[in-house]
Amino acid sequence: MSIYRPHDTWPDHSKSWWRDTLAYGREQGWSLDHPSGHWGRLFCPGGCIITIFGTGRGGESVAKSARRKIQRCLHVHGSVLARAVDHLDRAEQLTDAASELALRQAHHAYIDEILQSADEALDAIKEAGLLRQIEDLPSEPEIASAAASLDDAGAQLDLATATLSPMSAGVAKPLRRRITALRKRIEKLRTTLDQPALTVVDIGRGRPGGPS
């Protein structure tokens, strides 16, 4: 008797329907105990067990039923979803950081625009309440780090997408919607960084709870 983990090379079954079931279980993170019982046993990290038969009438129907049981298993799904959420949370944190830097850049661009009218610059800055911000303008490295944060956020979304790829549409739908929303927000922030003259309102619209 040997235990085969998902990353191992598994023995072949003589029946194609059981080969399909074994391949699906392996993709979903199940392991194989072989030889054991009739032919072997699939088991998930949470303890679900499926008997794999060698021969017998009705084997194709039993194999299909086994695949449905694998699909319904919440133990592996929970682990996969948790990893995807971790990637999404990290992507959101990076996007928030980039948004803050983009906001500072927009302030910087606005102040530069005001300063072009030298005669009225000081009065305009005072009225806008931006005088203190002149002393705290973003440096070029800070602006560059916003773009880097967006690159890292995009990489985290790619990992989340890959993590969810084997999941059924119904189970992963809420997280896939979150991925889509974050991708749109990242692209909007990239546009903001490329066009620093965009206003603070433009940036705020890309943030959760911002004006629409």
The whole-number pLDDT of residue 142 equals 56
Do 127 and 41 fall within a single domain? no
Do 68 and 79 fall within a single domain? no
Of 13, 45, 72, which residue constitutes the final position of a domain? 72
Burial, 1: exposed, middle or buried (Cβ in 10 Å; 0-12, 13-18, 19+)? Answer: exposed
pLDDT per residue as tens digits for the range 43-97: 887 788 999 988 767 788 899 999 988 888 867 666 666 777 788 888 888 888 8
Would residue 156 count as lying in a domain?
yes
Higher pLDDT, 117 or 17: 17
- Residues composing the chain: 212
The band of 122, judged by pLDDT with boundaries at 50, 70 and 90, is: low
The band of 42, judged by pLDDT with boundaries at 50, 70 and 90, is: very high
Region of poorest pLDDT, from 11-15, 81-85, 126-130: 126-130
Total tally of structural domains belonging to the chain: 2
The whole-number pLDDT of residue 162 equals 83
Do 17 and 38 fall within a single domain? yes
Of 57, 72, 87, which residue constitutes the final position of a domain? 72
Do 159 and 199 fall within a single domain? yes
Do 67 and 79 fall within a single domain? no
Do 40 and 79 fall within a single domain? no
Do 110 and 179 fall within a single domain? yes
Of 15, 42, 72, which residue constitutes the final position of a domain? 72
Do 91 and 158 fall within a single domain? yes
Would residue 212 count as lying in a domain?
no
Do 58 and 81 fall within a single domain? no
Do 39 and 126 fall within a single domain? no
Structure tokens at 85: 């959420």
pTM for this one? 0.46
Q: Which sign, positive or negative, has the C-alpha torsion 25, 30, 34, 40?
A: negative
The band of 199, judged by pLDDT with boundaries at 50, 70 and 90, is: very low
Range of the domain at 109: 75-204
Would residue 210 count as lying in a domain?
no
pLDDT per residue as tens digits for the range 82-117: 777 788 888 888 888 888 877 776 666 666 665 565
Cis, bond preceding 35 (omega within 30 deg of 0): yes
